[in-house]
Structures are given as structure tokens and as C-alpha cells.
Structure 1
Amino acid sequence: MASGNRPVLTVTGLKKSYRSAGEDIAVLRGVNLAVAAGESVALTGESGSGKSTLLHLIAGLDAADVGEIILDGVSLSELGDAGRAALRRDRLGLVFQQFNLIPSLTVADNLTFQSRIARRHDPKWQEELVERLGLARLLKRYPEQLSGGQQQRVAIGRALAPKPLLLLADEPTGNLDEDTADEVLALARDLVARTGCGFLLVTHSARLAATLDRQINLHAGVIA
């Protein structure tokens, strides 16, 4: 964890199993990790190691069997569905491989969607995001009119518009070619540093992982 910075995320003893074909399959077997404000951490691991499951638990999209997730001093296990949804809305930025933009909204409206829901829309920060992400000429377009790299830039801008406490990204460059992936991740790192939020990136790419502050590996359900 980044020295001197407060932890924005602490995960302790996290376990998660799923029922399949009549038996329990352990996916996470006691995960411990922490991410500090302003720190970027890459989470790597082979396919099926539980990386996406871990991110979904941190985002409050699923509940752990055992263990604790503390985000901004709040334990997710103490929150109901509504509380987790509010925390996700107000304190988390989420970026996924499939972009998940709203097809009926323009780029401009997609960018402001999250910050307006969270009631933290900042026009000056929005202008900076548009400029830094190179989206000024695309604001009136719709997602279907954009390349994959452009869509992912919009997704990153939408996630960072409310200035979240923590940005979670699950293979955000998985659908992009290598050069575009490098460019998109560099923009994300710069903007994360600008906001001072924590950044947890799931990636299968050792090359991309090496560009972040710290790398951790998930193997057989635990942090190796």
C-alpha cells in the first residue's frame, strides 16, 4: 500500500463459494488486500482464479460468505442492498470490458450520467475530462458511432466524473488492440492521479500491470 496515504479499501479474510452440479466450488479462499488513496494496483491471475468475483464483491454486486470489505470506513457486510447501491453510486467508479454505455444517450449525456445520479456534477471537472480524454468532437455522437477505444474513454470519463473514492476496472482494455489499450490505460492512470482516488485494475496482461504502482497475483483463491 502507498506509504503515508490512508487506505480507501481494506479486504480481510474474504471467502466465496458457488454451488455447481451439487457441490460447493471455492473461488476465494481468504483474500487480504488494501488499496490506498492515490495508489494504482494491478490484480493479475489465470483465468478462473476469481479476479472478477473479487471485484464484484468489492463493488457490492454480490455478498461474501466470510470476511470483511471496508470501503471508506464502511463495512459492506453491515449494509443492505440499498446501502450497497448507494455506496456504489456515490463512492465507486466502475469500468468494464464491454463499455456498458447507454446506447440511447449521446457521449455528452453518457459522461454526465453517473455524476448527476450521485448529485456531484462538476462542470469544470467535466470540461477537463472531455479535454483530457479527447472527446470534444464526439459529444453529440452516440455509442454505436464510436470506435472501441473511444467508447472506453467515455466509460472512464463517466466513472471518474463524480470523483469516486475508488475506481474498479475489470479487463477494461480486453477488447482493444495493444496500442489503443496502452493509450486508454495511460489516460486512466493520469486521471486517477489527478483525482487522488484508489485504482484497482484486473488485467491478464503482465505488460499493462507493470505500468501501475503495485502488482498482486490471485492464485488458487488467495493473493500469492
Structure 2
Amino acid sequence: MLDVRDLRKFYPGEAGPVPVLRGIDLSLGPGETLALTGESGSGKSTLLHLIGGLDHPDGGSIELDGIDVTALDDAGRAALRRRTVGVIFQQFNLIPSLDVARNIAFQAKLAGQHDADWTTELAARLGLSDHLHKYPEQLSGGQQQRVAIGRTLAARPRLVLADEPTGNLDEETGAAVLGLMLRLVEETGAALLTVTHSDRLAARMGRRLHLRHGRIAR
């Protein structure tokens, strides 16, 4: 599903390019779950954004579902995100002008993969059936994160990328939301890569990698 080799990324600095990722290798198969941990500034979110095609690396390769992501232009990466990759952000990133039902369906409709029955089932599984006509501002943080998870999984992505998916939630709500996400990902057969500072969350993943100064710690 995912094969990353010798991935490198630099950002401009006053004294020259500053290395953020210094040769990352990782792989992830269908149905596998992987936690990516590390201190702030270690390159976790940068790596996630590169894999999701939100940014372009300065070296190395990313192969996703048999496609060389690094060879794609902006339009190609956007198309790949619509069809193959789902991203769950810490800040939820819901569309405030759309109600819950339309937020959940948004990504799937954009990808031309909308399945009304699956969307309805997801809403029910996520405990959102009674909130479909509400708007994001009317929801709690936990409910908003459930909507974000539903929006991502409604399109049946092959790879789910989650950036601190419970970072804005209290411990009890975060544990409940994580449990739901893991069950739904398992049932759909998607691979899951999540960036987290939480040891509790990381312990529930199948594998764990730790980034330190742009490298995977051994």
C-alpha cells in the first residue's frame, strides 16, 4: 500500500537549507496501523503531508497503491487524495456552512464515490444520526471529530492519515473516538498512519515508529 524510501525534505534558512527529514524509510500494508511519534519539530507532520501529497519532497520516493506520488504534478496529487487518501486533521477542518450530513458526504461526492447507504451507516455508527441537520458550531469537540472521521471514511480511502486526531479532545472522549476510528478502519481494510504525542494512542496501533531530528530512531 505505502512504500517510502530515503525521503528527504529541506526548508530554507538564513544560513542555507535546513534539513527536516533526513532519509526516511517506512512501509505500510493494507489493514495495518502505524503510530508516528516524536518531539515537536522532529518532522512528523511534514512526513504526513508529503505522503498525502500536500507537499513535495526534495529527495527520495513515495509509492502509494502502486503510484509514484513524487512523479505527480499538483493536479495529479489532488486527484490521488480524492480517490485514495483520506486525511483527518487535529483542527477538524469541517465546512461551517454545511450541516453534518453534507459534511460527511462532501469528500465522497468530490471523489465521485458517494454511497448514500454507507454514509447513513457511518453516521449511525459514529452516533451522529440525531445531529445530521446541525452545523459544526452546534457540536461538541468530540462530535466534530466524529464528523471529520465520517467524512474521511465515507470515500472509502485506501490510506487514512491522521494528524493528532484526538489532540483537541479530553482523554475519555479521545479514547472513545479513537476506538470508533480503529474499528471502522479495520472494517474497511484501509491502512492507517497517525501522528501523535499520546503514548496511550500509540499503544493501540499495530506498530510504532519514533522520529528524532528527521530520522527514524533505532
Match of 1:147 among 131, 136, 140: 140
Match of 2:110 among 109, 117, 121: 117
Deviation beyond 4 Å, 4+ runs, structure 1: none
Whole-angstrom distance in 1 between the partners of 2:6 and 2:201: 27
Whole-angstrom distance in 1 between the partners of 2:127 and 2:34: 25
Write out per-residue CA displacement over residues 59-106 of structure 1, whole angstroms, 9 at most, x where no aligned residue: 111110000000110001211110000001111111001000000000
Whole-angstrom distance in 2 between the partners of 1:149 and 1:168: 18
Query: What stretches of structure 2 of length at least 5 have no aligned partner?
Result: none
Match of 1:66 among 39, 59, 64: 59
1:3 is matched with which residue? none
2:20 is matched with which residue? 27
* Secondary structure in 2 matching 1:12: strand
Write out per-residue CA displacement over residues 1-30 of structure 1, whole angstroms, 9 at most, x where no aligned residue: xxxxxxx11100000010022421110000
Query: What stretches of structure 1 of length at least 5 have no aligned partner?
Result: 1-7
Give yes or no for the alignment of 1:101 onto 2:113. no
* Secondary structure in 1 matching 2:101: helix
Whole-angstrom distance in 2 between the partners of 1:35 and 1:128: 27
Whole-angstrom distance in 2 between the partners of 1:53 and 1:94: 13
Match of 1:194 among 171, 187, 212: 187
Letter in 1 for 2:125: R
Match of 1:207 among 200, 208, 211: 200
- Measured on the aligned residues, the alpha-carbon RMSD in Å equals 0.7
Give yes or no for the alignment of 1:131 onto 2:124. yes
Displacement after TM superposition at 1:136 (Å): 0.4
Whole-angstrom distance in 2 between the partners of 1:133 and 1:194: 14
Displacement after TM superposition at 1:177 (Å): 0.5
Whole-angstrom distance in 1 between the partners of 2:71 and 2:22: 21
Give yes or no for the alignment of 1:36 onto 2:29. yes
TM-score relative to the length of structure 2? 0.98
Comparing 39-48 with 119-128, which one deviates more in the overlay?
Answer: 119-128
2:69 is matched with which residue? 76
Comparing 187-196 with 117-126, which one deviates more in the overlay?
Answer: 117-126
Write out per-residue CA displacement over residues 29-55 of structure 1, whole angstroms, 9 at most, x where no aligned residue: 000001110011110011110000000
Aligned residue-pair number: 217
